Structure 1
Amino acid sequence: MTSISARRLGKELTEIKAEGCPVGINLVKADDFATWWFTIEVMGESLYQGEKYTLQFRFDSNYPISSPAVQFVVGDGKVSPVHPHVYSNGHICASILGNEWSPVLSVIAVCVTIQSMLASCKKKERPTDNDRYIRFAPDNPKKTRFHYDDDTV
């Protein structure tokens, strides 16, 4: 971990602990600057009302210049939301985690964006290529070159 990454993550964690998280987002664990976990749920009326999911953030030494690897935790009773941009293995096809990442984005900003993505969904369904993708997907979703062509769900 570089000093830039450690400083930035330390600052974000201090802010989260001092100010708390937005409604529906909770820090579960952040013992180091390698991996953090949050729970996320959509507040208000939505297809996901009453459902809670766990997000995992993995940081490399280039954070915040490079995006964190973010995915829903699957296993041990946890599932990923059924959503057109979320694969059943928990990988998320979202441009802010790929080619539209910006170092000004924070962990909380990513959580809020994913919460909003779920809240605006009109139909619970998996991506059309889910079965093929999960068969060949790498462990780290950042190693996938997603094609971003639908921002309407």
Structure 2
Amino acid sequence: MRIASKRLQKELAELRLNGPPVGTEIIKADDLQTWVFSVEVLGESVYKGEKFALRFRFPDAYPMESPEVVFLTTDGWSAPAHGHIYTNGHICASILANEWSPVLHATSVLLTIQSMLASSKKKEHPPDNDRYVKKAPISPKDTHWAFHDDDV
């Protein structure tokens, strides 16, 4: 956890000093294992005026391994209706799986999620939402994602 701790301490210090990306806020970052951010899409979008909460859980192998990132679906929060986001909060995004790189960081993920939401033309759940949610593992990192649709 030593590398992860040093990296996360540095990221958190930068986030506190410079702030997270515009449209996001730190809700909770009391330790180096779990952080929660609010996310709002900037500009005109189908999500205008809506806020969502993203939870990051950092593994011991971070940054060599991606964080677990999910939309919160408790305490009054809900996941956005989006073609790559399931109602249980799991996100089908290659940056959180096979395209993760140690040069990425929490800010990279926040910007990616904002961009993904901003480019959405309509609010809809993935076509296999009900089936996936019914059988989904607790962590989306235990899912074998198939990345085949960049148009959502």
TM-score category of the 2 structures, normalised to the smaller one: over 0.9
Structure 1 residue identity aligned to 2:45: S
**Does residue 1:86 correspond to 2:118, yes or no?**
no
Give the Cα–Cα distance (whole angstroms) in 2 for the partners of residues 62 and 11 of structure 1.
16
| 3-state SS of 1:114 partner | helix
RMSD: 0.6
Structure 2 residue identity aligned to 1:66: E
User: 1:143: Cα distance to partner?
Assistant: 0.5
2:76 counterpart residue number: 77
User: 1:23: Cα distance to partner?
Assistant: 1.0
1:27 counterpart residue number: 26
User: 1:146: Cα distance to partner?
Assistant: 0.7
Structure 1 residue identity aligned to 2:76: G
Give the Cα–Cα distance (whole angstroms) in 2 for the partners of residues 63 and 50 of structure 1.
33
| 3-state SS of 2:150 partner | coil
Identity %: 57
TM alignment of 1:89-108, pairs within 5 A: 89-108=88-107
Gaps of 5+ in 2: none
| 3-state SS of 2:32 partner | coil
1:34-64 Cα shifts (integer Å, max 9, x gaps): 1100000001100000000000000110000
Gaps of 5+ in 1: none
2:145 counterpart residue number: 146
1:131-152 Cα shifts (integer Å, max 9, x gaps): 0000011111100011000111
Give the Cα–Cα distance (whole angstroms) in 2 for the partners of residues 100 and 113 of structure 1.
12
Structure 2 residue identity aligned to 1:142: K
User: 1:21: Cα distance to partner?
Assistant: 1.4
Give the Cα–Cα distance (whole angstroms) in 1 for the partners of residues 53 and 124 of structure 2.
19
User: 1:86: Cα distance to partner?
Assistant: 0.1
User: 1:77: Cα distance to partner?
Assistant: 1.5
| 3-state SS of 2:110 partner | helix
1:111 counterpart residue number: 110
1:73-97 Cα shifts (integer Å, max 9, x gaps): 0022111000000000000000000
1:104-135 Cα shifts (integer Å, max 9, x gaps): 00101100100000000011110010000000
TM-score by length of 1: 0.98
2:12 counterpart residue number: 13
Give the Cα–Cα distance (whole angstroms) in 1 for the partners of residues 140 and 21 of structure 2.
25
User: 1:22: Cα distance to partner?
Assistant: 1.6
Give the Cα–Cα distance (whole angstroms) in 2 for the partners of residues 22 and 57 of structure 1.
15
